[in-house]
Chains A and B, each alone.
Chain A
Amino acid sequence: MRVRDLSLSYGGEPVLVGVSLQVGKGQYVSLVGPSGSGKSSLLRAVIGLHKPSAGRVEFECAPADVGILFQDDALLPWRTARDNVALGLGFRGMERGKALAEAEAWLARFGLSGLGDRYPSRLSGGQRKRVALAQVLALKPKFLLMDEPFASLDAIVRARISQELVELVERERISVLHVTHDLEEAIALSDTVHLLSQGPRARITQHYPVPIPRPRQLVRAHMHPAFAPLLERLWRDLSREVDTDSRAEAA
């Protein structure tokens, strides 16, 4: 996937200016930036939920091969976990019995076997997030777009789900564009991290390749010698962005 010179305005206000980035096959790319920098807007423009004022988004795969996961993803409350996972398969024309069997297999893969008959109201936050993940991944996407999908989870659940995700992404060679404000998460998961400047008129200011080898154990990734220096650099650059902005405001 390639984003070229993308600009985006919101009610006349420029939000993003000339953003370009590229995600190669099987690459995991994160986009970090101060809150309000337009990270989510960029993602929504990539999906086509916002119309860019300039620039282009090019996908090499079909729209049906793109999976999307948002922070506040909602499952259908009136459908069981299994039915929820089978939903997209049904939209793709899969026969119902087969879709349900496939859904059950995906639930099992995320440690939810036996919970297929439960309604979302009877699942914990982490379980719901796993169902949402299974719902998207059951469609075998070649490209995954995520907007802070794990922000609402507590640290332990979050770490476990991230590990499950990273294993799957590595095995299936899924390309990922992941928007987050969590720098450590970005480094641990990604091949490349992009820094978006303080909005409005945000643009990508830096690229950071992550030299940690794959397959990754996320806990060990934190202990890799390259991790700490990279985090420090990212942190410094991000702070400078925020400072520049507050100085501009003061002026």
Chain B
Amino acid sequence: MLNPKRAWIRQLVALAILLALWEAAGRAGHLNPLYMPMPSSIWGALVELFSGSRIWIHMEATFTAALVGLALGIVVGIVLGVVAALVPVIAELLEPVMLLLNAVPRVILAPLFVIWLGIGLASKVALAFILVAVVIFFTVFTGIRQVDRRLVERIVTLGGDRSALLRHVYLPSVTAWVLGNLKVVVGFAFTGAVVGEFVAASRGLGYLLSFAQSTFNPALMMALVLLIMVVVLVIFGLASRLEKRLLRWN
């Protein structure tokens, strides 16, 4: 019988076998290293990336863009969502814009942001921001409209006023919805930052990626993809710890 607790061992073994086969095929000359570099050369590229201090500059650029965009996107998304849910006129004006932004793949705005804001940090922040803000807006906007009426009545019949409603019902509800989407928007923030750098930049992981492409260096490219995956996974882990902590009542 399969013990579900040992699943990770089987997964690890499968990965090791795959990598070994891949490496063996490469060494035997069955794979063209220009298209499919061996795991050992990808590892080599990764080690080389971290041997100098330059990688930290790029990491810092990407992290800054993603996290600033994430923070701004969450704050602006919440504010707009709350205002739209409470003021019908604002909802009328905002909803079509948001629907449009939601319908298109928002990364197509990257070249526009480069023209408006230059190739520096600002255009990457803007892209991460717009990716995050739209999701948060809809989460909060629909969430507030669907807030549990029974909770509202309960607070009112217990003698709570508007500020009590805000503090005990609306604020915790909004927090729960935002946290429920935290992983999604963290992923979006990094997508925004990396794609923005890929389009035009002088630093960042996305910039390194486009550099690897233009110099036809597949080992570096795969090393970078791996690095970005690990980085986002670590952030995911932090996000779900935060989620568990703040939603421990669930």
Contacts and interface: CB of A to CB of B under 8 A. Distances in A.
A189 to B, nearest CB: 21
Interface string A54-78: 0000000000100010101111111
Interface residues of A, number: 24
Contact of A74 (B151, B160, B176, B250): B151
B166 to A, nearest CB: 13
Contact of A64 (B151, B159, B161): B159
A135 interface: yes
Interface string B212-229: 000000000000000000
A49 B152 CA distance: 12
Contact of B249 (A73, A79, A91): A79
Given A74-B151, A121-B249, A87 B158 contact: yes
A207 B44 CA distance: 90
A80 B161 CA distance: 21
A73 B159 contact: no
Q: Which residue of B160, B168, B172, B176 has the most chain A CB atoms within 10 A of its CB atom?
A: B168
Contacts of A119: 248-250
A74 B158 contact: no
Contacts of A159: none
13 contacts: A70-B153, A73-B150, A76-B154, A76-B172, A77-B249, A77-B250, A78-B176, A79-B249, A91-B158, A91-B164, A92-B159, A119-B248, A119-B250
B51 interface: no
B157 interface: yes
Contacts of B249: 77-80, 119-121
B55 interface: no
Contacts of B248: 119
A88 B159 contact: yes
Given A78-B176, A91-B159, A91-B160, 11 more contacts: A49-B153, A70-B150, A74-B154, A76-B169, A76-B172, A77-B249, A78-B249, A79-B168, A87-B160, A119-B249, A119-B250
Nearest to B158: A88
A115 interface: no
B157 A76 contact: no
B60 interface: no
B48 interface: no
Interface string A95-136: 000000000000000000000000111000000000000011
A91 B163 CA distance: 11
A221 interface: no
Contacts of B161: 91
